[in-house]
Amino acid sequence: MRKVGWFDIYVEDIERAQAFYEAVLQTELAVMDDPTDSTVQMRAFGDDFTSHGAGGALVKLDFAKPGPGGSMVYFSCQDCAVEEARVVDAGGQVVRPKSAIGEHGFVSLFMDSEGNMVGLHSIV
């Protein structure tokens, strides 16, 4: 299988990061517990685990830090310019405005409130 099944986005401030992603993606994140470690703080993106795509969470861990240069997560959008327009007001920074990637559509890259580089992808 090549499908991504889950992703973690590491954060320093879980409340700030939750507010950022809820504002940019216009979604609601839910508190998620780690059954093996009560010190882990998580906020889950909605996923029913039966659809295509991947579920994931914002995660605050003592041993993992946010930052650019690691794995890239791209959120699918109808038009990535819509979510991109919310980034600055939510406390982030647009790094690469909506740009064409040929037959594959468009992408936009932003730095989130925690310093992670994240992408948006759309066909339009």
Q: d(Cα 36, Cα 60) in Å, to the nearest integer?
A: 14
pLDDT tens per residue, range 46-99: 766 566 678 889 999 888 889 887 788 999 999 999 999 999 999 999 999 999
% residues pLDDT > 70 (the chain): 93
Looking at every residue in the chain, the average pLDDT score rounds to 90
Distances (CA, A) of 65 to 19, 55, 61, 117: 19, 20, 7, 13
Q: d(Cα 41, Cα 3) in Å, to the nearest integer?
A: 26
pLDDT (0 to 100) of residue 11: 96
Beta bridge partners of 76: 121
Close Cβ partners of 85 (under 8 Å, ≥ 6 residues apart): none
pTM score, two decimals? 0.86
